[in-house]
Amino acid sequence: MTDFKDRQKGEEAKFAMDEDTAFKVAARRNRLLGQWAAEKMSLNQEETDSYAKAVVQADFEEAGDEDVIRKVLGDLTTAGVDVDEAGVRAALEDMTVEAKRQLMSDS
């Protein structure tokens, strides 16, 4: 019986760690995407930092990535940047890879 409980605790700990890692990857990815978009909009460093934080915050509006994509695409379009939804989605994928790489190198 203790083996089962130990195994269950181990699985719960792994699940919690996986969830924490996924959250960190998403937050870093969104910050990187915000920096990418800020560069496209020619924002200065202070504006870039502020914008990257706003993109991270946008992810809390609804589940999934659509809220982030909608914000970044809308902001880029408003700023007159020639980019489409596919371009933002591609950048999001690139930033996901980069965020994972960065987190792995941090550990």
pLDDT in tens, 2-54: 776 777 877 887 777 878 888 999 999 999 999 999 999 999 999 999 999 99
User: Which of 14-23, 72-81, 82-91 comes out lowest in average pLDDT?
Assistant: 14-23
**Which one-letter amino acid corresponds to residue 91?**
A
CB 20: neighbour CB atoms within 10 A? Answer: 10
Question: Which residues are CB-contacts of 73 (< 8 A; sequence separation ≥ 6)?
Answer: 83, 84, 85, 88
CB 31 within 8 A of CB 59: no
Percent of the chain with pLDDT over 70: 96
CB 88 within 8 A of CB 104: no
What's 95's DSSP letter? H
Give the chain's mean pLDDT: 91
CA 43 to chain centre: 20
Q: What is the pLDDT of residue 85?
A: 97
Domain definitions of the chain by residue range: 30-106
